[in-house]
Amino acid sequence: MEKKFKSRKEEYKTDSGIEIPSYLNEPVKLEDPGEFPFLRGVHKSMYRSRFWTMRQYAGFATAEESNERYKFLIQSGTTGLSVAFDLPTQIGYDSDDPMSEGEVGKAGVAIDSLEDMETLFDGITLADITTSMTINSTAAILLMMYVAIAKKQNADLTKLSGTIQNDLLKEYIARGTYIYPPSHSMRLITDIFKWCSVNLPSWNTISISGYHIREAGSSAVQEVAFTLSDGIEYVKSAIESGLDVDEFAKRLSFFFNSHNNFIEEVAKFRAARRIWAKIMKERFNAKDEASMKLRFHAQTGGSTLSDKQIDNNIVRVTIQALAAVMGGCQSLHTNGKDEAIALPTEQSVQTALRTQQIIAYESGVADSVDPLGGSYMIEYFTDQIEAKAWEYINKIDDMGGASKAIEFNFQKSEIENNSYHLQKDLESKKIIEVGVNEFMTDLNEDHIIFKVDDSVRVRQMLKLNRLKEKRDNKKVNELLTVIKEKSSKSENLLPFILAAVESYATVGEISNALREVWGEYKAV
């Protein structure tokens, strides 16, 4: 009697709803890497010339403690720093503000003034390393602090290299660390574009972020579509402010998530490159090919990590990191195995970095450009993701663009709906998460938990008091008044923010000066 086998799944689809064929048998013709539309990579030789930047995201407690972690990472072989700021710093409150209670130094490092930034980078030569700062609403302030340190180190600002996230639209969509209404946020962003195009030409002025969109529960297709729609909005805003597209577009960068579905993730990165190249060439008439290249940082998926059987997270991170590399990332952060339960320990951070190094030096995948290009399955998925992403982009265009769509709550509701269905699939075991809803164990797991206690706030408050006693408070107040005056006019704010920063005005003081004029955004 013939034995009947039951399929492992009832249907084979990705989280984005793309049907997975069992096999394909169609020939594929591809452009060369480094050529428009850059499907196969933004550089002709990719990692044969140099590896991606291994950029571990770190920051906690005080500047002194984070400085020690950065030096440990540099000694361990990281090739780029990535700064995590605490929530008060992200939303423009000093450590002594009542709003900061319970949050100082917890989700990142506490930075109140230039004095803290000087400590954060003590012993680190900024000209010798690239730095990424995950900061949005207060990006102009933190960037000017970084510039002030570089000036003190006599660095050539035209060669200073790094990135600020500076992506406010995704804050209204998915993350929430906004301060001002969207129009004022866009003004700060374009001010940064303009100032950096003259003074900091090698700096990536924005990292248009899909990472947090994916963390909020979007699909891979939504991540691409909503991120690139935000990118369209930033380009439009910059052009409307008087900038030539080829003057600023080559310094735009992107930030994507890398999740578990290996084939879909590789294809996602390739599709995003092709879509953006077409947008820049056909919609915005960019002439410089550098303006058409989508360069991106990737981070492995924090929301995919489990607090159960946390060693399994090392495997997840490895798969995700490999997908980012196979997809052609320019820089990469790999999560620590313990990040579902706490800030990562030094040991888990080193393991995460070693994961990248093993992929780079031992796996062989970096030895050829676009190693999966031409695979029937990869090309099929790339085409499918592109087609589905364009549907979303066109829908957002019809609404009047990303900012208008945010007002209609479109992106947020689409993400929430997708997140709901993902959770239902997890609960019904339509999706298997090893160690979470299947293959559970009763074994007790003992982990070293890295903790930041509330004494950080006390120490920061003492430092703030000492700073305010020794600085020229009359000069600080005069400079804050100038910022308020200029914020209601069209003049670029960055020179005035830089002057205030160099006089040791604090993040909270500068943010409050702008709050007085612009007000705060309240979500509906």
If you average pLDDT over residues 197-209, what whole number do you get?
A: 95
Looking at residue 443, its pLDDT comes to 75
The answer to whether residue 104 sits within a structural domain is: yes
If you average pLDDT over residues 89-104, what whole number do you get?
A: 97
Looking at residue 26, its pLDDT comes to 73
The pLDDT of residue 212 is above 60: yes
Looking at residue 8, its pLDDT comes to 64
The pLDDT of residue 419 is above 80: yes
Looking at residue 283, its pLDDT comes to 98
The pLDDT of residue 11 is above 90: no
CATH number of the domain that residue 319 is part of = 3.20.20.240
Element (DSSP H or E) covering residue 511: helix 507-518
- Tokens coding 240: 């409307």
DSSP 3-state assignment of 215?
A: helix
If you average pLDDT over residues 3-11, what whole number do you get?
A: 61
Percent of the chain residues topping a pLDDT of 90: 90
What span, in angstroms and rounded, lies between the C-alpha atoms of 197 and 90? 24
* Count, residues in the chain: 524
If you average pLDDT over residues 124-133, what whole number do you get?
A: 95
DSSP label at residue 56: E
Structural domain range at position 245:
46-427
Convert the pLDDT of each residue in 224-281 to its tens digit: 999 999 999 999 999 999 999 999 999 999 999 999 999 999 999 999 999 999 999 9
The answer to whether residue 452 sits within a structural domain is: no
Convert the pLDDT of each residue in 449-502 to its tens digit: 888 888 999 999 999 999 999 999 999 999 999 999 999 999 999 999 999 999
The answer to whether residue 403 sits within a structural domain is: yes
Q: How many CB atoms lie within 10 A of CB 385?
A: 29
Question: Of 250, 239, 205, which Cα lies nearest the Cα of 494?
Answer: 205
The pLDDT of residue 61 is above 60: yes
Residues 397 and 233: beta-carbon distance below 8 Å: no
Looking at residue 1, its pLDDT comes to 43
What span, in angstroms and rounded, lies between the C-alpha atoms of 457 and 109? 11
DSSP 3-state assignment of 308?
A: coil
Under the phi-then-psi rule, with left for phi > 0, alpha for psi from -120 to 50, and beta for the rest, what region is 309? left
Residues 55 and 297: beta-carbon distance below 8 Å: yes
Convert the pLDDT of each residue in 150-199 to its tens digit: 999 999 999 999 999 999 999 999 989 999 999 999 999 999 999 999 99
191: CB partners within 8 A, 6+ apart:
140, 492, 493, 494
The answer to whether residue 496 sits within a structural domain is: no
What span, in angstroms and rounded, lies between the C-alpha atoms of 317 and 304? 9
Looking at residue 291, its pLDDT comes to 97
Measured CA to CA in angstroms, residue 317 lies from 257, 314, 448 at distances of 11, 5, 19
Residues 128 and 156: beta-carbon distance below 8 Å: no
If you average pLDDT over residues 200-227, what whole number do you get?
A: 96
DSSP 3-state assignment of 93?
A: coil
The answer to whether residue 432 sits within a structural domain is: no
- Tokens coding 97: 């503000």
The pLDDT of residue 24 is above 80: no
Looking at residue 7, its pLDDT comes to 57
Looking at residue 452, its pLDDT comes to 83
Residues 270 and 296: beta-carbon distance below 8 Å: no
Looking at residue 447, its pLDDT comes to 77
What span, in angstroms and rounded, lies between the C-alpha atoms of 293 and 440? 44
If you average pLDDT over residues 413-423, what whole number do you get?
A: 96
Band of pLDDT at residue 205, cut at 50, 70 and 90:
very high
Convert the pLDDT of each residue in 507-516 to its tens digit: 999 999 999 9
List helix spans (H) across 279-409: 312-326, 346-361, 376-399, 402-407
Looking at residue 471, its pLDDT comes to 98
The pLDDT of residue 446 is above 90: no
259 φ, ψ (degrees, to nearest 5): -105, -165
Domain count, the chain: 1
Q: How many CB atoms lie within 10 A of CB 524?
A: 4
pTM comes to: 0.91
The answer to whether residue 513 sits within a structural domain is: no
If you average pLDDT over residues 433-440, what whole number do you get?
A: 93
What span, in angstroms and rounded, lies between the C-alpha atoms of 59 and 111? 10
What span, in angstroms and rounded, lies between the C-alpha atoms of 135 and 154? 25
The answer to whether residue 461 sits within a structural domain is: no
**Residue 19 forms beta bridges with which residues?**
13
The pLDDT of residue 2 is above 70: no
Residues 171 and 259: beta-carbon distance below 8 Å: no
The answer to whether residue 381 sits within a structural domain is: yes
Looking at residue 435, its pLDDT comes to 93
